[in-house]
Chains A and B, each alone.
Chain A
Amino acid sequence: MGKVISIHSFRGGTGKSNLTANLSATLAARGYRVGVFDTDVASPGIHVLFGINDVPASASLNAYFWGNCSIQDAAVDVMPALEGAGVPVSASGALYLVPASIETGEIARILHDGYDVGLLNDGILGLMDHYDLDFVFVDTHPGVNEETLLSIAISEVTIIILRPDQQDLQGTAVTIELARQLECKNLQLIVNKAHRNADHAVMKASVEQKLGAPVIEVIALSDDMVQFGSGGVYCMRFPDHDYSQAVGRVADCLVAAGTASQLSDRRVS
C-alpha cells in the first residue's frame, strides 16, 4: 500500500502546486509510481505544469465526484511530459494526474455544493490499487475549509508549505493546531520562498521551535523559477538548480521516512 501525502498551505501563492508537481515528477523519474489529485477545485492549475492545457469536463475530478466517470478515466498519464525534458526518466516510474475541471460552471458548482471527501478517499484508494502507486499527492485548496481538513485527516503525511512571513506563520500555526485536533500525527513543514541571503539553518530552527513541527526543507525564492513561470516541471528541465536539489532532498525524506524498503525494489539504480 502506497502513501497518501497532502500538500497544503494556509494561504495561496506559497508555491504549493509547483512543489507538488516537481516532487511527484522527481519521484516518478526515480522509478516510483505516483498519483496526483488536484483538489484545489476552486483554482485548479497543476495540470498546466504537466503540459495539459485543456481538462475535459467529462474526465476530471469533478466528473468523478458527480459520478460521470471512474477515477481511472479521470486520471491522465503525464509521464510523457517528463520524458525528453532533459532528466533521465526511469522506465519503471509512472505519474498519473487527476486534474480538476477548469470550466467556470464546474468550479461554481463544486464551490456551491462542496464534495464528498469519502468519495475522494475511495478515488485515492481506487487509483492506488489500479496503478499500484507508491505515492499519492493531494494538492489541496489553501485555507481550513471542511474538504481540505478532511483531506488532511485521511493522509498519512501532511506537508504544509509556508513563506517566512508573519501572516503565513500565524495561519500555519492555526492549521497545525486544527490538524492535531483532527488527530493528524505526521505533520511536516517546508519553508518556501525564503530570502536567499537568510540563514536557512537558523530559519529552520526558529520555525520548528515556534510551530512545534519538523521543517524538512527551507527553499530559497528563485528568480529563475519566477522567470520560468508555469512553463513546465522545473526540476526536469534544470535538475542541477538549487530548487531542484531542494526538491530532491524532500523526495529523499519522503522515501526514507516511509516504507523505504518496500519502495526501494522499484528503483532503477
Chain B
Amino acid sequence: MNVLETPPLPKAKHEARVLLLNHRLNGCASLIRGLEVAGFAVTGIAVTPASSTDPVHLVVVAISGVDDSACSVVEQLRQSERFAATPILVISDRFDPSVAEEYLHLGATDFLSQPSAGRVLSGWCERILNSQQSDWLFEEYVRERRRSGAFDRVIIPLSLALFGERDHGRMLETILLEAKALCLADGGTLYLRTSADTLEFTMVHNDVLGISLGGSKGSVTEFPPIPLYRPDGGEPERRYIAAYVANSGLPVSLPDLYDSSNFDLSGPRNFDTKFGYRTLSILAAPLKNDAHRVIGVLQLINARDPLTGEAVPFDPQQQEAVESMCRLAAAGLEAYARMQKLKEQISALHLKIDEAKKREQVSQIVDSDYFKNLKEKARQLRMKTPRA
C-alpha cells in the first residue's frame, strides 16, 4: 500500500468529503443533515460505492444490527485500491460488542452505536479525520526524515568519496550501491557508454536475488552491450529504456513494468521469468558530463517503502535525488578520466631526454684527458682478468 496515493487530506472541515453507505439505518437522513450542518460534504449516499474516482476522505457505513451485506462492503472497501487507506466509520442503531468487534476486525476504523444526533456523528467524524491526518503527517515526517537523512548520509559523503577514489571499479560500485541505498531499491545496473556507441553493463546488483556482478570484481560478461543506434539505418535506439535515456538525456520512471507499453520491456520481463522475480518500478537516469554528453546510465529497480518494505514506484523526490547523484557520478567519472590522462601526460613528460643536453654532458667528460686515462685504466683492468 502506498499512502501517498490516497487523496490529499482536507485542510478544513468543509473540504472533507464523506461517502455514506446506508444499510437500512433508521433516521439516517437526520444524521446526514447533521453532518452537512457541521460542514461536511456528504456524497454518494448508496449501499455500495459508485465507480466514481472523486476523492473521499471518510466512508460512513450505516447499519442496523448484524448485516452480512454491510460486512461484505467493509471487507471489499479494505481490499479495494481506492479505499484501502480511507478511514471507515461504522454507525449502528444498537450497541452490540460482538458486532462492533466483527466490523473492526474486517478493517473498520471505528464503530459508533446509537448516534443520537448529527452533532455527535460529526464530532466523531472530525476526530477520525484529525487522527488520520496526524497519522499521515507522522508518516510523511518519518519519510522526510529518512529522505533528508539519506541526503546527509549518502549524497554528501558520496561526493567526497567519488572525488577521492582512485580505483575505477570501486568508484562504479559506490555510485550504484549508494543510489540503490538512497531509494531502498532492490537492485540496479550501471551502464557506461563505450567509444563504439554502446552501453556496456559495468555493474549489475540485486539484493533480493543475491546478484553482484562487475564493479571491483571486474567486467560483466553475462550481458551483451546495448547498441545506441539501430543497425537498420543508424537511427538512435529508443526502444530500450537505457538506450532511450542515453540518447534523449532524459530520465525515465516506470511505476509498473507490466503496465507500460512505451518501451520494449522484453529484457527485464525475461529477467523476471528467468529468476522468478517481479520487477515493479524502474528508474533510469543519465550520467551527463560537463558538455551535456551522456556518458552512462544508472538504472534502479523496485524502490521500497521505508515503512512497509513493499515495492513501490520511485517518487519524484527520489528521482530528483538520483538525478543529482548521477550528476555527481558523472563529474566523478570525468575527474577520474582526466586524472588518468594527466598521469599519462606526466608520465610521457618524465620520459623525455634532452638529447642536446646529454650530448654536451657526455662530450665534456669523454673529451677530457681524465676520461681518456680512465678508458686506458679500464682496458688494462679488463686485460688482467680472464672474465673480460
Contact = CB atoms under 8 A, between A and B. Distances in A.
A195 B351 CA distance: 13
A41 interface: no
Interface in B334-381: 340, 343, 347-354, 357-358, 361-362, 365-366, 370-371, 374-375, 377-379, 381
B145 interface: no
Contacts of B370: 146
Contacts of A154: 378, 381-382, 385, 387-388
A195 B350 CA distance: 12
A146 B351 CA distance: 27
A173 B374 contact: no
Contact of B381 (A121, A170, A177, A195): A121
Interface in B177-193: none
Contacts of A1: 386-387
B375 A207 contact: no
A42 interface: no
Interface in A1-25: 1, 3-4
A221 B375 CA distance: 36
B387 A146 contact: no
B388 A170 contact: no
A148 to B, nearest CB: 11
A181 interface: yes
Contacts of B343: 195, 197-198
Given A156-B388, A178-B365, A182-B378, 18 more contacts: A3-B387, A117-B377, A146-B370, A153-B381, A154-B378, A164-B347, A166-B349, A169-B350, A170-B357, A173-B353, A173-B358, A174-B361, A174-B362, A181-B362, A182-B374, A195-B343, A195-B347, A198-B347
Contacts of B348: 206
Contacts of A165: 350
B166 to A, nearest CB: 7
Contact of A181 (B347, B357, B366): B366
A110 interface: no
A148 B378 CA distance: 11
A121 B357 CA distance: 33
Interface string A176-196: 011001110000000000010
Question: Interface on chain B toward A: helix, strand, loop, or mixed SS?
Answer: helix
Interface of B: 166, 340, 343, 347-354, 357-358, 361-362, 365-366, 370-371, 374-375, 377-379, 381-382, 384-388
B353 A169 contact: yes
Interface of A: 1, 3-4, 117-118, 121, 125, 144, 146, 149-150, 153-154, 156, 164-166, 169-170, 173-174, 177-178, 181-183, 195, 197-198, 203, 206-207, 210-211
A165 B377 CA distance: 33
A153 B375 CA distance: 9
21 contacts: A1-B386, A117-B381, A150-B377, A150-B381, A153-B382, A154-B382, A165-B350, A169-B351, A169-B353, A177-B358, A177-B366, A178-B362, A178-B365, A178-B371, A181-B362, A181-B371, A181-B375, A182-B375, A198-B343, A206-B351, A207-B351
Given A173-B353, A174-B361, A156 B387 contact: yes
Contacts of A198: 343, 347
B57 to A, nearest CB: 62
Nearest to B359: A177
Contact of B358 (A153, A174, A203): A174
Contact of A177 (B350, B362, B378): B362
Contacts of B350: 164-166, 169
Q: What 3 A-B pairs have minimum CB-CB distances, sorted nearest first? A: A153-B378, A177-B362, A182-B378
Contacts of A203: 347, 351
A177 B362 CA distance: 7
Given A121-B385, A169-B353, A210-B353, A150 B362 contact: no
A182 B375 CA distance: 6
Contacts of B371: 178, 181
Contacts of B354: 170
Nearest to A152: B378
B378 A183 contact: yes
Nearest to B386: A1
Given A154-B382, A170-B358, A4 B387 contact: yes
A180 to B, nearest CB: 10
